[in-house]
């Protein structure tokens, strides 16, 4: 009987999980396209093909839905990045360039665009601010840790930690520069030159 | 008689100019504190102590007022920076550090905070987008030119142009990181290390 109810429960749980994931993905797409002002639970539920009631069952508030969505996609992205790390060039400037390129791709893509809308909205919305502050700091820390690992950076060497942090800040700035117009040509040159400079800083201690 | 009407006209022109300036300054403060959604011509007129009619005489549309405001304060800031350039250390890492610090101060201060709200709102508002795109590219170009001049950077040297651009992008990223919480402690270390690295790139060609 235990076995029967277990098999009976599983498809329902799968459906619930799939619904949740559809809502999270629709929420990120909605934020990226319409900004915070245009992003409501109703709009996202419609886009995901889910009833408003079902959406509210998963995410009681608008803040739950959108902070949950950014967290979900950012984590997915970090996991994917870790999985692809083995495909990177083994060492030297080519590896540094590839890692900087991957980080910059994150910050110039649709996930960052969605996060940026949430981030800026949080500056003026009391309900959002503490959650987005915590979320941003968690994602920032994770991205930093991953960058250090993939760059094989020794943070004990003077200046290495700050230069890796600066690389992430530069990537965020490039994301902003890409918001209103296609900045990819300028960005390619910056990523190339900065990767060479960063590689020099990383190898100083060796 | 010409002299009489000239003296009669001047105080009125002065008042009109003062009103315009009060509106522009109130608009920037309003954007920085309330974001785009909370920034209307009415709110700004009230804050500036100007009638709504007078505000609309100066700025027929909401877009005119807010893009005009960012342009005005950014230009004021660039002029002030140019005037203070003589007080910088004469050369070497201390000068590079001082210049990077000034640029980062711009992007982490209230002007950038206001501009950021306008920038992100422009991503989803058709009426704003072309004007903010043009404004952002103009300010970005001016900031780049000023940075090159103050850093005494020779853009003919390979990588110099891109590294100066990367510095401005990093400054924008630091501005974003400072939006929801005080990031000044982390920023101090980043500015110090970045300045040393940038100075090395600038002196490569010498």
Tell whether A174 is covered by a domain. yes
Asked whether residue B155 is assigned to any structural domain, the reply reads yes
Burial class (CB in 10 A: 0-12, 13-18, 19+), B79: exposed
Q: Residue A24 domain-assigned?
A: no
> Residues B180, A133: contact at Cβ < 8 Å?
yes
Residue A176 near residue A186 (C-beta atoms within 8 A) = no
Helix (H) or strand (E) holding B17: helix B2-34
Q: Residue A179: closest CA among chain B residues belongs to which residue?
A: B123
Question: Sorting pLDDT into bands at 50, 70 and 90, what band is B146?
Answer: very high
Instruction: Look at residue A4 in the predicted model and tell me its pLDDT.
Output: 47
Rounded CA separation A99/A59 (Å): 35
% of chain A at pLDDT higher than 90: 78
Q: How many CB pairs under 8 A join A and B?
A: 129
Asked, for residue B3, whether it belongs to a domain, the answer is: no
**Pairwise CB contact (< 8 Å): B166 & A33:** no
Q: Which pLDDT does position A1 carry in this prediction?
A: 42
Quick one: pLDDT at residue B173?
A: 97
Q: Report d(CA B115, CA B129) in Å as an integer.
A: 13
User: Of the ranges A25-29, A81-85, B193-197, which one carries the lowest mean pLDDT score?
Assistant: A81-85
Inter-chain CB proximity A169 and B190 less than 8 Å? yes
Residue B5 distance to chain A (closest CA, Å): 48
Give the chain A residue whose CA is nearest to the CA of B133: A180
Alpha-carbon dihedral B86, B91, B96, B102, rounded to 10 degrees:
-10
The C-alpha atoms of residue B106 and residue A154 are separated, in whole angstroms, by 31
Neighbours of A12 (CB within 10 A): 9
**Chain B interface, mutation test: which of A40, A147, A169, A171, most B Cβ atoms within 10 Å?**
A169
CA A117 to chain centre: 13
B134 touches chain A (CB under 8 A): no
Whole-number pLDDT of residue B14: 86
Q: What is the dihedral of CA B135, B139, B141, B144, to 10 degrees?
A: -160
**Under an 8 A CB cutoff, do B176 and A171 touch?**
no
Distance in Å, alpha carbon of B36 to nearest chain A alpha carbon: 9
Interface of B with A in 41-100 (CB under 8 A): none
Please compute the mean of the pLDDT values over residues B154-171 and round it to a whole number: 96
Q: Which domain holds residue B154?
A: 62-203
CA B9/CA A171 separation, integer angstroms: 52
Query: Is B52 among the domain residues?
Result: no
pLDDT tens digits along A132-182 = 999 999 999 999 999 999 999 999 999 999 999 999 999 999 999 999 999
Q: Is B127 a domain residue?
A: yes
CB B179 within 8 A of CB B113: yes
- Give me the helices (H) in B35-91, please: 41-48, 52-58, 62-84
Give CA separation, A144 vs A5, A126, A160, A178, in Å.
Answer: 44, 27, 12, 21
Domain count, chain B: 1
If we measure between CA atoms, which residue out of B164, B181, B161, B156 comes closest to residue B103? Answer: B164
Residue A3 lies in a domain: no
Q: What is the pLDDT of residue A205?
A: 57
Query: What's residue A170's pLDDT?
Result: 98
- Give the one of A124, A165, A192 whose C-beta lies nearest to B38's C-beta: A124
Query: For B93-136, how does the pLDDT look when each residue is reduced to its tens digit (9 = 90+)?
Result: 999 999 999 999 989 998 999 999 999 999 988 999 999 999 99
| B77-105 residue pLDDT tens | 888 888 888 889 988 999 999 999 999 99
* ipTM for this prediction: 0.90
**Closest Cβ–Cβ partner in B117, B124, B196 for A159:** B196
pLDDT in tens, B165-180: 999 999 999 999 999 9
Residue A50 distance to chain B (closest CA, Å) = 25
Q: Alpha-carbon distance B33 to A93, whole Å? A: 43
Give the chain B residue nearest A130 (alpha carbons): B180
Calpha distance B203→B95 (Å, rounded): 13
DSSP 8-class letter at B156 = T
Long-range CB contacts (< 8 A, 24+ apart) of A94-97? Answer: A95/A151, A95/A152, A96/A151, A96/A195, A96/A196, A96/A198, A96/A199, A96/A202, A97/A191, A97/A192, A97/A195, A97/A196, A97/A199
Chain B residues lying within 8 Å of A116, measured CB to CB: 120, 176
Q: Is the pLDDT of residue A31 over 60?
A: yes
Q: Tell me how far apart the alpha carbons of residues A56 and B28 are, in angstroms, rounded to a whole number.
A: 37
Contact A176, B176 (CB under 8 A): yes
DSSP string across B78-137: HHHHHHHGGGS-SSHHHHHHHHHHHHHHHHHSHHHHHHHHHHHHHTT-TTTHHHHHHHHH
Residue A15 lies in a domain: no
CB contact under 8 A, A197 and B197: yes
pLDDT at position A7 is: 53
**Any A CB within 8 A of B9 CB:** no
Is the CB of residue A192 less than 8 Å away from at least one CB of chain B? Answer: yes
Proportion of chain A in helix, strand, coil states, percent, rounded to 5:
80, 0, 20
């Amino acid at each position: 009987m235990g076995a029967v109810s277990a098999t009976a429960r599983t498809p329902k749980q799968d459906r619930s999980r799939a619904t949740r994931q559809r809502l999270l993905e629709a929420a990120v797409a909605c934020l990226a396209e319409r900004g915070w002002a245009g992003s409501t639970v109703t709009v996202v539920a419609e886009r995901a093909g889910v009833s408003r009631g079902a959406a509210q069952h998963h995410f009681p508030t608008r803040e739950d839905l959108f902070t949950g969505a950014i967290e979900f996609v950012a984590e997915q992205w970090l996991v994917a990045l870790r999985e692809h790390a083995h495909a990177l060039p083994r060492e030297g400037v080519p590896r540094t360039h590839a890692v900087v390129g991957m980080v910059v791709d994150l910050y110039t893509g649709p996930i960052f665009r969605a996060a940026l809308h949430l981030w800026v909205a949080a500056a003026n919305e009391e309900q959002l601010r503490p959650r987005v502050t915590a979320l941003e700091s968690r994602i920032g820390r994770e991205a930093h840790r991953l960058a250090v690992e993939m760059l094989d950076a020794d943070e004990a060497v003077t200046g290495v930690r700050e230069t890796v942090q600066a690389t992430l800040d530069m990537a965020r700035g490039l994301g902003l520069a890409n918001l209103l117009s296609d900045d990819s040509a300028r960005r390619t040159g910056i990523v190339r030159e900065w990767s060479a400079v960063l590689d020099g800083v990383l190898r100083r201690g060796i």
